[in-house]
Structure 1
Amino acid sequence: MHKKITVSSEPKIIGVKNGIMQVELDRKNLLNQDGSHNKFYKYFGSFPYWANQNNKIDFNISVINAKPLKKAKMTDLLAYGPYIMAFKWLISEKFYNILQDFNIGEHTLYEVNIENCEEKYFFLKLKTILRDEFVFNRNVLTVLEKNSFVDYTFLNKIEYDDFILNNPLSEYKHIALKQELEKYDIIYTQGAGDYFSERLIKTFNENGLTGLSIYNNRSIEFV
Protein backbone atom coordinates (compact mmCIF):
# COMPACT_ATOMS: atom_id res chain seq x y z
CA MET A 1 0.00 0.00 0.00
CA HIS A 2 0.96 3.62 -0.54
CA LYS A 3 0.01 6.76 1.36
CA LYS A 4 -0.17 10.36 0.25
CA ILE A 5 2.60 12.41 1.83
CA THR A 6 3.92 15.94 1.99
CA VAL A 7 6.51 17.94 3.89
CA SER A 8 5.51 18.65 7.48
CA SER A 9 4.25 22.16 8.24
CA GLU A 10 4.45 21.71 12.02
CA PRO A 11 6.57 24.54 13.54
CA LYS A 12 7.98 22.20 16.21
CA ILE A 13 9.34 19.98 13.43
CA ILE A 14 10.40 22.47 10.74
CA GLY A 15 11.29 25.35 13.09
CA VAL A 16 9.43 28.07 11.18
CA LYS A 17 5.82 29.18 11.39
CA ASN A 18 5.15 30.10 7.76
CA GLY A 19 4.06 26.55 6.88
CA ILE A 20 5.51 27.02 3.40
CA MET A 21 9.30 26.69 3.30
CA GLN A 22 12.43 26.23 5.36
CA VAL A 23 14.99 27.39 2.82
CA GLU A 24 14.92 29.97 0.04
CA LEU A 25 16.63 29.42 -3.27
CA ASP A 26 19.03 32.06 -4.47
CA ARG A 27 17.15 33.94 -7.21
CA LYS A 28 20.36 33.95 -9.27
CA ASN A 29 19.75 30.22 -9.83
CA LEU A 30 16.50 31.05 -11.63
CA LEU A 31 17.09 34.34 -13.45
CA ASN A 32 19.26 35.75 -16.18
CA GLN A 33 21.06 39.02 -15.62
CA ASP A 34 18.20 40.93 -17.26
CA GLY A 35 15.70 39.42 -14.81
CA SER A 36 14.11 36.96 -17.23
CA HIS A 37 13.79 33.30 -16.28
CA ASN A 38 16.85 31.28 -17.27
CA LYS A 39 16.87 27.91 -19.05
CA PHE A 40 16.96 26.00 -15.75
CA TYR A 41 13.71 27.56 -14.53
CA LYS A 42 12.03 27.49 -17.94
CA TYR A 43 12.67 23.75 -18.23
CA PHE A 44 11.98 22.60 -14.67
CA GLY A 45 9.63 25.26 -13.34
CA SER A 46 7.29 26.36 -16.08
CA PHE A 47 3.84 24.85 -16.66
CA PRO A 48 4.70 22.81 -19.81
CA TYR A 49 7.29 20.86 -17.77
CA TRP A 50 5.11 17.75 -17.43
CA ALA A 51 4.63 17.47 -21.17
CA ASN A 52 8.35 17.96 -21.78
CA GLN A 53 9.72 15.96 -18.86
CA ASN A 54 11.26 13.26 -21.06
CA ASN A 55 13.15 15.73 -23.25
CA LYS A 56 16.93 15.88 -22.92
CA ILE A 57 18.43 18.91 -21.19
CA ASP A 58 20.38 21.08 -23.61
CA PHE A 59 22.08 23.28 -21.01
CA ASN A 60 24.51 22.96 -18.12
CA ILE A 61 23.26 23.15 -14.55
CA SER A 62 25.51 25.19 -12.30
CA VAL A 63 25.63 25.04 -8.50
CA ILE A 64 22.22 25.61 -6.93
CA ASN A 65 22.44 27.74 -3.80
CA ALA A 66 19.92 28.25 -1.01
CA LYS A 67 19.70 29.98 2.34
CA PRO A 68 17.84 28.72 5.41
CA LEU A 69 15.16 30.90 6.94
CA LYS A 70 15.74 32.15 10.45
CA LYS A 71 15.04 29.37 13.02
CA ALA A 72 14.45 26.78 10.28
CA LYS A 73 15.34 23.19 11.15
CA MET A 74 17.05 21.09 8.50
CA THR A 75 14.73 18.10 8.22
CA ASP A 76 15.38 15.17 5.88
CA LEU A 77 12.39 16.10 3.74
CA LEU A 78 12.72 19.84 3.30
CA ALA A 79 10.34 22.50 1.95
CA TYR A 80 11.81 25.24 -0.21
CA GLY A 81 10.84 28.23 -2.34
CA PRO A 82 10.35 29.62 -4.88
CA TYR A 83 8.70 26.37 -5.98
CA ILE A 84 9.97 24.56 -9.07
CA MET A 85 7.44 22.20 -10.63
CA ALA A 86 9.86 19.32 -11.29
CA PHE A 87 11.11 19.10 -7.69
CA LYS A 88 8.66 18.31 -4.92
CA TRP A 89 11.07 18.81 -2.03
CA LEU A 90 14.71 18.76 -1.05
CA ILE A 91 15.99 15.50 0.41
CA SER A 92 18.97 14.94 2.69
CA GLU A 93 21.87 12.70 1.74
CA LYS A 94 20.85 10.43 4.62
CA PHE A 95 17.41 9.97 3.07
CA TYR A 96 18.85 9.37 -0.38
CA ASN A 97 21.18 6.70 1.00
CA ILE A 98 18.14 4.90 2.43
CA LEU A 99 16.42 5.11 -0.94
CA GLN A 100 19.15 2.94 -2.46
CA ASP A 101 17.29 -0.07 -1.03
CA PHE A 102 13.99 0.96 -2.65
CA ASN A 103 12.60 1.07 -6.16
CA ILE A 104 12.20 4.70 -7.21
CA GLY A 105 12.80 4.09 -10.92
CA GLU A 106 14.90 6.30 -13.14
CA HIS A 107 15.85 9.48 -11.36
CA THR A 108 18.28 12.38 -11.34
CA LEU A 109 19.83 14.23 -8.40
CA TYR A 110 20.78 17.90 -8.39
CA GLU A 111 22.82 19.00 -5.39
CA VAL A 112 21.71 22.14 -3.57
CA ASN A 113 24.24 24.01 -1.47
CA ILE A 114 22.48 25.31 1.66
CA GLU A 115 24.35 28.08 3.41
CA ASN A 116 25.90 27.08 6.79
CA CYS A 117 24.61 23.50 6.44
CA GLU A 118 27.08 20.62 6.62
CA GLU A 119 24.57 18.03 5.41
CA LYS A 120 24.24 17.55 1.66
CA TYR A 121 20.82 18.14 0.11
CA PHE A 122 19.45 17.32 -3.31
CA PHE A 123 16.55 17.91 -5.64
CA LEU A 124 15.18 14.49 -6.64
CA LYS A 125 13.74 14.38 -10.15
CA LEU A 126 11.36 11.51 -10.89
CA LYS A 127 8.89 10.97 -13.70
CA THR A 128 5.53 12.55 -12.93
CA ILE A 129 2.47 10.39 -13.66
CA LEU A 130 0.16 12.60 -15.72
CA ARG A 131 -3.61 12.91 -15.26
CA ASP A 132 -4.19 11.24 -18.60
CA GLU A 133 -2.53 8.12 -17.17
CA PHE A 134 -5.00 7.86 -14.24
CA VAL A 135 -7.75 5.23 -14.46
CA PHE A 136 -10.39 7.96 -14.66
CA ASN A 137 -13.51 5.93 -13.87
CA ARG A 138 -12.05 4.83 -10.50
CA ASN A 139 -11.08 8.35 -9.36
CA VAL A 140 -12.96 10.27 -6.70
CA LEU A 141 -12.68 14.05 -6.59
CA THR A 142 -14.02 16.20 -3.79
CA VAL A 143 -14.99 19.86 -3.88
CA LEU A 144 -16.31 22.30 -1.29
CA GLU A 145 -19.94 23.24 -1.93
CA LYS A 146 -21.99 25.32 0.51
CA ASN A 147 -19.68 24.65 3.49
CA SER A 148 -19.42 20.89 2.96
CA PHE A 149 -17.38 18.61 0.73
CA VAL A 150 -19.13 16.71 -2.06
CA ASP A 151 -17.54 13.69 -3.77
CA TYR A 152 -17.75 13.07 -7.52
CA THR A 153 -17.12 10.00 -9.66
CA PHE A 154 -17.14 9.76 -13.46
CA LEU A 155 -18.65 7.48 -16.09
CA ASN A 156 -16.38 8.52 -18.95
CA LYS A 157 -13.27 10.53 -19.68
CA ILE A 158 -15.13 13.45 -21.26
CA GLU A 159 -17.12 13.90 -18.06
CA TYR A 160 -13.94 13.61 -16.01
CA ASP A 161 -11.98 16.16 -18.10
CA ASP A 162 -14.89 18.59 -18.08
CA PHE A 163 -15.20 18.44 -14.29
CA ILE A 164 -11.48 19.16 -13.78
CA LEU A 165 -11.63 22.08 -16.21
CA ASN A 166 -14.61 23.64 -14.45
CA ASN A 167 -13.58 22.86 -10.86
CA PRO A 168 -9.94 23.96 -10.50
CA LEU A 169 -10.16 23.87 -6.69
CA SER A 170 -11.28 20.24 -6.53
CA GLU A 171 -9.01 17.68 -4.84
CA TYR A 172 -8.40 14.01 -5.45
CA LYS A 173 -9.81 11.99 -2.57
CA HIS A 174 -8.95 8.71 -4.27
CA ILE A 175 -6.93 7.94 -7.38
CA ALA A 176 -6.40 4.80 -9.40
CA LEU A 177 -3.23 4.08 -11.37
CA LYS A 178 -2.12 1.22 -13.57
CA GLN A 179 -0.96 -1.91 -11.73
CA GLU A 180 2.54 -1.64 -13.19
CA LEU A 181 3.22 1.47 -11.09
CA GLU A 182 2.65 -0.25 -7.74
CA LYS A 183 6.27 -1.48 -7.73
CA TYR A 184 7.61 2.03 -7.17
CA ASP A 185 8.15 3.24 -3.60
CA ILE A 186 7.77 6.92 -4.53
CA ILE A 187 5.13 8.11 -6.97
CA TYR A 188 4.82 11.70 -8.20
CA THR A 189 1.47 12.60 -9.78
CA GLN A 190 0.08 15.58 -11.65
CA GLY A 191 -2.44 17.29 -9.42
CA ALA A 192 -3.14 14.39 -7.04
CA GLY A 193 -0.16 14.68 -4.72
CA ASP A 194 2.74 12.35 -4.03
CA TYR A 195 2.85 8.89 -2.50
CA PHE A 196 5.29 6.77 -0.49
CA SER A 197 4.95 3.03 -0.02
CA GLU A 198 4.19 1.95 3.54
CA ARG A 199 7.51 0.09 3.56
CA LEU A 200 9.37 3.31 2.79
CA ILE A 201 7.41 5.26 5.41
CA LYS A 202 8.22 2.61 8.01
CA THR A 203 11.94 2.72 7.18
CA PHE A 204 11.90 6.53 7.14
CA ASN A 205 10.51 6.60 10.68
CA GLU A 206 12.66 3.72 11.99
CA ASN A 207 15.80 5.62 10.94
CA GLY A 208 14.76 8.76 12.77
CA LEU A 209 14.32 10.86 9.63
CA THR A 210 12.23 14.00 9.93
CA GLY A 211 9.94 16.25 7.91
CA LEU A 212 7.35 13.74 6.66
CA SER A 213 3.60 14.31 6.99
CA ILE A 214 0.97 11.74 5.95
CA TYR A 215 -2.57 12.29 4.67
CA ASN A 216 -4.74 9.57 6.17
CA ASN A 217 -7.90 10.78 4.38
CA ARG A 218 -6.55 10.25 0.85
CA SER A 219 -6.09 6.89 -0.90
CA ILE A 220 -4.63 5.26 -3.98
CA GLU A 221 -5.23 1.91 -5.72
CA PHE A 222 -3.57 0.07 -8.59
CA VAL A 223 -5.74 -1.71 -11.12
Structure 2
Amino acid sequence: MNLLEFSTAWEPEVLGVNNGIYQLEFDEGVFNNESESDDFFLNFPRDITKPITKPLNFNLLKEGKINDVMRYAPILKPAPYIVSEKFIEVLREFDTLPYSLEPVSFLNVNVDMKYFLFRYTYSDLSEFDVKRIIAYLGITKNSRRYYEFSDLSEFQLFNNKNKMCQIEKIEFNLQDSKVKDYVKLIKPGDMISESLANGLIDKGITGVKIGGGCIMETVD
Protein backbone atom coordinates (compact mmCIF):
# COMPACT_ATOMS: atom_id res chain seq x y z
CA MET A 1 0.00 0.00 0.00
CA ASN A 2 1.61 3.23 -1.17
CA LEU A 3 0.49 6.76 -0.32
CA LEU A 4 0.69 9.72 -2.70
CA GLU A 5 0.77 13.41 -1.89
CA PHE A 6 -2.66 15.04 -2.13
CA SER A 7 -3.29 18.71 -2.78
CA THR A 8 -5.21 21.05 -5.06
CA ALA A 9 -4.50 21.77 -8.69
CA TRP A 10 -2.58 24.95 -9.53
CA GLU A 11 -3.27 25.37 -13.25
CA PRO A 12 -5.17 28.53 -14.30
CA GLU A 13 -7.46 26.48 -16.52
CA VAL A 14 -8.58 24.55 -13.41
CA LEU A 15 -8.69 27.40 -10.88
CA GLY A 16 -9.89 30.04 -13.31
CA VAL A 17 -7.34 32.47 -11.81
CA ASN A 18 -3.58 32.88 -12.08
CA ASN A 19 -2.39 32.85 -8.46
CA GLY A 20 -1.72 29.09 -8.57
CA ILE A 21 -3.17 28.47 -5.10
CA TYR A 22 -6.77 29.45 -4.40
CA GLN A 23 -9.98 30.72 -5.96
CA LEU A 24 -11.98 31.50 -2.80
CA GLU A 25 -11.66 34.31 -0.26
CA PHE A 26 -12.78 33.98 3.33
CA ASP A 27 -15.31 36.72 4.11
CA GLU A 28 -13.80 38.52 7.09
CA GLY A 29 -16.91 40.63 7.58
CA VAL A 30 -17.93 38.16 10.32
CA PHE A 31 -15.28 39.62 12.65
CA ASN A 32 -15.79 42.66 14.86
CA ASN A 33 -12.21 43.87 14.56
CA GLU A 34 -8.74 42.95 13.32
CA SER A 35 -7.71 41.46 16.64
CA GLU A 36 -10.62 39.03 16.59
CA SER A 37 -9.76 38.05 13.03
CA ASP A 38 -6.09 37.44 13.85
CA ASP A 39 -7.01 35.29 16.84
CA PHE A 40 -9.39 33.17 14.78
CA PHE A 41 -6.85 32.41 12.05
CA LEU A 42 -3.76 32.07 14.22
CA ASN A 43 -5.36 29.86 16.88
CA PHE A 44 -7.68 27.71 14.78
CA PRO A 45 -7.54 24.28 16.45
CA ARG A 46 -6.19 21.07 14.95
CA ASP A 47 -8.65 19.21 17.16
CA ILE A 48 -11.62 18.51 14.88
CA THR A 49 -13.99 18.20 17.86
CA LYS A 50 -13.56 21.82 18.89
CA PRO A 51 -16.41 24.01 17.62
CA ILE A 52 -16.00 26.81 15.12
CA THR A 53 -17.28 30.06 16.53
CA LYS A 54 -17.81 32.06 13.35
CA PRO A 55 -19.85 31.58 10.14
CA LEU A 56 -17.80 30.19 7.26
CA ASN A 57 -18.63 32.49 4.34
CA PHE A 58 -16.63 32.68 1.13
CA ASN A 59 -16.51 34.69 -2.08
CA LEU A 60 -15.41 33.26 -5.41
CA LEU A 61 -12.68 35.33 -7.03
CA LYS A 62 -13.54 37.03 -10.30
CA GLU A 63 -13.21 34.41 -13.06
CA GLY A 64 -12.61 31.72 -10.42
CA LYS A 65 -14.00 28.24 -11.07
CA ILE A 66 -15.92 26.04 -8.66
CA ASN A 67 -14.29 22.62 -8.18
CA ASP A 68 -14.90 19.68 -5.87
CA VAL A 69 -11.79 20.53 -3.85
CA MET A 70 -10.70 24.16 -3.42
CA ARG A 71 -8.37 26.34 -1.39
CA TYR A 72 -9.08 29.76 0.05
CA ALA A 73 -7.36 32.73 1.67
CA PRO A 74 -6.70 33.73 4.37
CA ILE A 75 -6.17 30.08 5.17
CA LEU A 76 -6.96 28.12 8.32
CA LYS A 77 -3.82 25.97 8.27
CA PRO A 78 -5.28 22.82 9.90
CA ALA A 79 -8.15 22.81 7.38
CA PRO A 80 -6.99 24.14 4.00
CA TYR A 81 -9.69 22.58 1.81
CA ILE A 82 -13.28 23.34 0.93
CA VAL A 83 -14.81 20.13 -0.44
CA SER A 84 -18.04 19.13 -2.16
CA GLU A 85 -20.47 16.46 -1.03
CA LYS A 86 -19.41 14.55 -4.15
CA PHE A 87 -15.86 14.35 -2.78
CA ILE A 88 -17.19 13.16 0.59
CA GLU A 89 -19.31 10.47 -1.07
CA VAL A 90 -16.11 8.98 -2.50
CA LEU A 91 -14.18 9.34 0.77
CA ARG A 92 -16.90 7.47 2.71
CA GLU A 93 -16.09 4.33 0.72
CA PHE A 94 -12.57 4.18 2.16
CA ASP A 95 -10.86 3.57 5.50
CA THR A 96 -10.20 6.92 7.22
CA LEU A 97 -9.65 8.50 10.58
CA PRO A 98 -12.45 10.71 11.97
CA TYR A 99 -13.11 13.96 10.16
CA SER A 100 -15.64 16.76 10.51
CA LEU A 101 -17.53 18.68 7.86
CA GLU A 102 -18.39 22.29 8.61
CA PRO A 103 -21.02 23.73 6.22
CA VAL A 104 -19.90 26.79 4.27
CA SER A 105 -21.75 29.45 2.29
CA PHE A 106 -20.78 31.16 -0.95
CA LEU A 107 -21.91 34.77 -0.98
CA ASN A 108 -21.50 35.68 -4.64
CA VAL A 109 -22.14 32.47 -6.56
CA ASN A 110 -24.82 29.78 -6.64
CA VAL A 111 -23.76 26.13 -6.43
CA ASP A 112 -25.77 22.97 -7.06
CA MET A 113 -24.48 20.91 -4.13
CA LYS A 114 -23.36 21.30 -0.53
CA TYR A 115 -19.79 22.33 0.34
CA PHE A 116 -17.87 21.95 3.59
CA LEU A 117 -14.72 23.00 5.37
CA PHE A 118 -12.87 19.68 5.62
CA ARG A 119 -11.26 19.01 9.01
CA TYR A 120 -9.29 15.78 9.22
CA THR A 121 -7.55 14.11 12.17
CA TYR A 122 -3.77 14.53 12.21
CA SER A 123 -1.45 11.52 12.41
CA ASP A 124 2.15 11.45 13.55
CA LEU A 125 5.05 9.73 11.80
CA SER A 126 5.66 7.81 15.02
CA GLU A 127 2.46 5.86 14.22
CA PHE A 128 4.26 4.32 11.26
CA ASP A 129 7.01 1.73 11.44
CA VAL A 130 9.37 3.98 9.50
CA LYS A 131 12.36 2.25 7.91
CA ARG A 132 13.86 5.08 5.86
CA ILE A 133 13.26 8.76 5.15
CA ILE A 134 14.81 10.71 2.28
CA ALA A 135 14.67 14.47 2.82
CA TYR A 136 16.23 17.47 1.14
CA LEU A 137 17.06 21.15 1.53
CA GLY A 138 16.94 23.56 -1.39
CA ILE A 139 14.20 25.11 -3.49
CA THR A 140 15.22 24.14 -7.02
CA LYS A 141 16.16 20.63 -8.14
CA ASN A 142 19.68 21.77 -8.99
CA SER A 143 20.21 23.23 -5.53
CA ARG A 144 18.85 20.32 -3.51
CA ARG A 145 21.01 18.61 -0.90
CA TYR A 146 19.73 15.18 0.07
CA TYR A 147 19.81 13.49 3.47
CA GLU A 148 18.87 9.92 4.35
CA PHE A 149 17.66 8.66 7.73
CA SER A 150 17.06 5.11 8.91
CA ASP A 151 15.88 6.24 12.33
CA LEU A 152 12.82 8.45 12.85
CA SER A 153 14.32 10.20 15.88
CA GLU A 154 17.36 11.23 13.82
CA PHE A 155 15.09 12.77 11.19
CA GLN A 156 13.09 14.58 13.86
CA LEU A 157 16.28 16.14 15.25
CA PHE A 158 17.30 17.18 11.74
CA ASN A 159 13.84 18.59 11.02
CA ASN A 160 13.85 20.60 14.25
CA LYS A 161 17.07 22.30 13.14
CA ASN A 162 16.06 22.60 9.47
CA LYS A 163 12.40 23.60 9.36
CA MET A 164 12.58 24.23 5.60
CA CYS A 165 13.51 20.65 4.78
CA GLN A 166 11.13 18.67 2.59
CA ILE A 167 10.48 14.93 2.53
CA GLU A 168 10.79 13.12 -0.80
CA LYS A 169 10.16 9.57 0.33
CA ILE A 170 9.11 7.65 3.43
CA GLU A 171 9.51 3.88 3.50
CA PHE A 172 7.56 2.02 6.17
CA ASN A 173 6.54 -1.47 7.23
CA LEU A 174 2.84 -1.89 6.50
CA GLN A 175 2.11 -4.62 9.03
CA ASP A 176 3.22 -2.57 12.04
CA SER A 177 1.85 0.79 10.91
CA LYS A 178 -1.47 2.52 11.57
CA VAL A 179 -2.13 3.41 7.95
CA LYS A 180 -5.42 4.62 6.46
CA ASP A 181 -6.47 5.56 2.95
CA TYR A 182 -6.20 9.23 3.94
CA VAL A 183 -3.34 10.38 6.18
CA LYS A 184 -2.74 13.94 7.36
CA LEU A 185 0.75 14.76 8.64
CA ILE A 186 2.30 18.06 9.64
CA LYS A 187 5.07 17.12 7.21
CA PRO A 188 4.85 16.13 4.37
CA GLY A 189 1.13 17.00 4.47
CA ASP A 190 -1.95 15.17 3.19
CA MET A 191 -1.37 11.71 1.67
CA ILE A 192 -3.84 9.30 0.07
CA SER A 193 -3.69 5.67 -0.97
CA GLU A 194 -3.49 4.68 -4.59
CA SER A 195 -6.95 3.12 -4.20
CA LEU A 196 -8.47 6.40 -3.01
CA ALA A 197 -6.62 8.28 -5.75
CA ASN A 198 -8.17 5.98 -8.35
CA GLY A 199 -11.58 6.40 -6.73
CA LEU A 200 -11.37 10.19 -6.97
CA ILE A 201 -10.25 9.99 -10.58
CA ASP A 202 -12.96 7.47 -11.53
CA LYS A 203 -15.68 9.70 -10.05
CA GLY A 204 -14.37 12.77 -11.86
CA ILE A 205 -13.49 14.76 -8.73
CA THR A 206 -12.21 18.15 -9.91
CA GLY A 207 -9.57 20.48 -8.54
CA VAL A 208 -7.21 17.86 -7.13
CA LYS A 209 -3.49 17.25 -7.60
CA ILE A 210 -2.37 13.72 -6.81
CA GLY A 211 1.28 12.68 -6.67
CA GLY A 212 4.31 14.59 -7.85
CA GLY A 213 5.62 15.26 -4.37
CA CYS A 214 6.40 13.00 -1.42
CA ILE A 215 5.58 9.32 -1.66
CA MET A 216 5.15 6.85 1.20
CA GLU A 217 6.09 3.32 0.16
CA THR A 218 5.68 0.02 1.97
CA VAL A 219 8.73 -2.22 2.32
CA ASP A 220 9.22 -5.77 3.58
Please classify the TM superposition score into its range, dividing by the shorter chain length. 0.7 to 0.9
Instruction: Tell me if the contact between 2:130 and 2:173 (Cα under 8 Å) persists in the aligned partners.
Output: no
Name the residue aligned to 2:135. 141
Name the residue aligned to 1:20. 21
Q: 1:201 to 1:65 in 2, by over 3 A?
A: same
1:202 and 1:43 map into 2 onto residues whose CA distance is: 35
Q: Aligned to 1:140, what secondary structure does the other structure show?
A: strand
For residues 54-133 of structure 1, the aligned pairs below 5 Å read 57=50, 61-115=53-107, 116-118=109-111, 119-133=113-127
Q: 1:27 to 1:216 in 2, by over 3 A?
A: same
Instruction: Tell me if the contact between 2:133 and 2:150 (Cα under 8 Å) persists in the aligned partners.
Output: no
2:101 and 2:71 map into 1 onto residues whose CA distance is: 16
Are residue 166 (structure 1) and residue 161 (structure 2) matched?
yes
Superimposed CA distance per residue, residues 100-151 of structure 1 (whole angstroms, 9 cap, x where no aligned partner): 2122221111011112232321111111123554556521111128943222
TM-superposed deviation, 1:158:
5.3
Name the residue aligned to 1:11. 12
Q: Which runs of 5+ in 2 are unaligned?
A: none
Q: 1:27 to 1:193 in 2, by over 3 A?
A: same
For residues 207-222 of structure 1, the aligned pairs below 5 Å read 207-222=203-218
- The TM-score normalised by the length of structure 1 is 0.82
2:9 and 2:110 map into 1 onto residues whose CA distance is: 20
TM-superposed deviation, 1:215:
2.5
Q: 1:34 to 1:9 in 2, by over 3 A?
A: same
Sequence identity (%) = 25
Superimposed CA distance per residue, residues 69-124 of structure 1 (whole angstroms, 9 cap, x where no aligned partner): 01111111111111112213111111112222122221111011112232321111
Name the residue aligned to 1:195. 191
Q: Aligned to 2:34, what secondary structure does the other structure show?
A: coil
For residues 177-192 of structure 1, the aligned pairs below 5 Å read 179=174, 180-182=177-179, 184-192=180-188
Q: 1:28 to 1:42 in 2, by over 3 A?
A: farther
Q: Which runs of 5+ in 1 are unaligned?
A: none
One-letter amino acid matched to 1:83 = I
Q: Aligned to 1:181, what secondary structure does the other structure show?
A: coil
Q: 1:167 to 1:93 in 2, by over 3 A?
A: same
TM-superposed deviation, 1:222:
4.8
One-letter amino acid matched to 2:120 = L
The CA RMSD measured in Å over matched residues stands at 2.6
TM-superposed deviation, 1:214:
2.1
TM-superposed deviation, 1:156:
4.5
- The TM-score normalised by the length of structure 2 is 0.83
TM-superposed deviation, 1:196:
1.5
